[in-house]
Amino acid sequence: MATHSVEVPEQFHQTGEQEHHAGEHPAHLAHHFDSMAQQFAAGKLGMWIFLVTEILFFGGLFCAYAVYRANHPEVFVYAHHFLHKNLGALNTAILIFSSFTMAWAVRAAQLGQQQTLRLCLIITLLCAGAFLGVKYVEYRQKWEHGLLWAGWYHPHVTDAEHHGDAPPKPVSPVTSPTAGKATTSQHTPESTAAATAGERSEYPGEPRLAGVFFSIYFCMTGLHALHVIGGMIAITWLLIRAVQGVFGPEYYGPVDYVGLYWHLVDMIWIYLFPLLYLIH
């Protein structure tokens, strides 16, 4: 919503409030809006609707998660032990803190505190970078151990290398909690089971098709990481604009919109953390 032609002589419908008088046209008001309030509200609604699309975009993956967790509970219980719970918790804290600084950045922009605004944006950016750094460490470990999505799943981990707080509990195939659904997949004799790619039995207690978990894991966290990167680009842009000093009590819409997006990214992680790392 950058500056537009300012030479529009007279606004034709005064939808907004009386805050701008004839002759003084706010610098950041686009030509087709009547008032800053109207422009701000429209942009905000636009952002919220974009967040709706994001929710449904991730919704597909949450649906896939629900379906596979319902159908293969033993896989999820087994495979989540390969995720590093502490790193996940650390990342959760980092992201929550970045959300906090982002919210503070909006507040600073509203109050016209330029210094604080810049500081908050920088911290948010650093947190996002730290999040991705931790993510990289996790991904590299998965890659080295062959703990990849179903098609490329070829684990070669020794028990000592498990990252979880406990070594994977041997899941006894027959005593799976939701026996009704799960047992159908476990009656298979080893001979036929070894034939297909996703099925391994080299590890004690490894259920069939354990790669499904990592398919979901990489899709969800990968898509989330892409959103973090997108957020970093947006925040960088905000920072440049903030250094130029364009934001203030009159014009802080972009900070607010990017903030909303960033909080949604945080919110999705708030669900991903327990769903992927804390399976019991």
Partner 1 sequence: MASQHAGQAHHAGGHVVPGYVLVAVFIALLVLTALTVAATWIDLGSGNLLVAIGIATVKAALVALFFMHLRYDHPFYGIVFTVALLFLALFLGLTLVDVRQTFPEVQAAIENPV
Partner 2 sequence: MVTEVAEPKPIARATPPDYLHDGRGIWSWLFTLDHKRIGVMYLVGILTSLLLGGIFALLIRTHLAIPALVHRPGQTISTGESAAVIVGPSQPTPPGAVSSQDAAAQLTAESEAATAASTVQPTPPRYLLTPKEYNRAFTLHGAIMIFLVIIPGIPAALGNFVLPLMLGAKDVAFPRLNLMSFHLWLIGLVFFLVVLFTGGLDTGWTFYTPYSTTTDTRVTTAVVGAFILGFSSIFTGINFIATIHFLRPRGMSWFRMPLFVWSLYATAIIQVLATPVLGITLLLIALEKNFGLGIFDPKLGGDPVLFQHFFWFYSHPAVYIMILPGMGIISELVSTFSRKHIFGYRFIAFSSVAIAILGFLVWGHHMFTSGQSRLASMIFSALTFSVSIPSAIKVFNWLATMYKGRISLQTPMCYALAFILLFGIGGLTGLFLGALATDVHLHDTYFVVAHFHYVMFGGTLVAFLGGLHYWWPKMTGKMYNDTLGRLGALLIFLGLNLTFFPQFVLGTRGMPRRYFDYSSLLDRHPEFAGLNLMSTAGAYLTAIGLVVAAICLLGSLRWGKKAPPNPWGSASLEWRCPSPPPKENFLSPPIITPAFDPYDLDQVVYDPETQGYWVRQTAVT
Q: Which is nearer to partner 2, 71 or 141 (CB)?
A: 71
- Cα–Cα distance for residue pair 136/82, rounded to 1 Å: 15
Among 29, 36, 61, 238, the residue binding partner 2 under the rule CB under 8 A is: 61
- Cα–Cα distance for residue pair 255/247, rounded to 1 Å: 8
- Cα–Cα distance for residue pair 213/83, rounded to 1 Å: 11
Binding mask 239-268 for partner 1 (x = CB under 8 A): ----------xx-x---x--xx--xx-xx-
Alpha helices in 198-274 (DSSP H): 211-243, 253-272
Q: Closest Cα partner for 263 from 45, 96, 121, 23?
A: 96
Bridge partner list, 248: 251
Q: Work out whether 55 is an interface residue with partner 1 (CB under 8 A).
A: yes
Binding mask 187-226 for partner 2 (x = CB under 8 A): ---------xxx---------xx-xx--xx--x---x---
**Residue 57 interacts with which of partner 1, partner 2, none, CB < 5 to 8 Å by class:** partner 2
- Cα–Cα distance for residue pair 128/265, rounded to 1 Å: 11
Q: Kindly report the CA angle at 133 between 128 and 138, in degrees rounded to 5? A: 125
Q: Closest Cα partner for 101 from 231, 243, 274, 268?
A: 231
- Cα–Cα distance for residue pair 102/221, rounded to 1 Å: 21
Q: Which is nearer to partner 1, 156 or 278 (CB)?
A: 278
Greatest CA span in the chain, whole angstroms?
84
Among 1, 25, 30, 44, the residue binding partner 1 under the rule CB under 8 A is: 44
Q: Tokens representing 146?
A: 């062959």
Q: Closest Cα partner for 238 from 97, 128, 96, 137?
A: 128
Q: Closest Cα partner for 43 from 32, 55, 56, 57?
A: 32
**Residue 263 interacts with which of partner 2, partner 1, none, CB < 5 to 8 Å by class:** partner 1
Binding mask 25-54 for partner 2 (x = CB under 8 A): -----xxxx----x--xxx-xx--xx-xxx
- Cα–Cα distance for residue pair 81/279, rounded to 1 Å: 9
Contacts with partner 1 by CB under 8 A: the residue count is: 65
- Cα–Cα distance for residue pair 267/260, rounded to 1 Å: 10
Site for partner 1 in 151-210 (CB under 8 A): 177, 180-181, 184-185, 187-188, 192
Q: Which is nearer to partner 1, 6 or 111 (CB)?
A: 111
Residues found near partner 2 in the complex (CB under 8 A): 1, 8, 12-15, 30-33, 38, 41-43, 45-46, 49-50, 52-61, 63-64, 67-68, 71-72, 75, 149-152, 196-198, 208-209, 211-212, 215-216, 219, 223
Residues found near partner 1 in the complex (CB under 8 A): 15-17, 19, 35, 37-38, 40-41, 44-45, 48-49, 51-52, 55-56, 59, 62-63, 66-67, 70-71, 85, 89, 92-93, 96-97, 99-100, 102-104, 106-107, 110-111, 177, 180-181, 184-185, 187-188, 192, 249-250, 252, 256, 259-260, 263-264, 266-267, 270-271, 273-275, 278-280
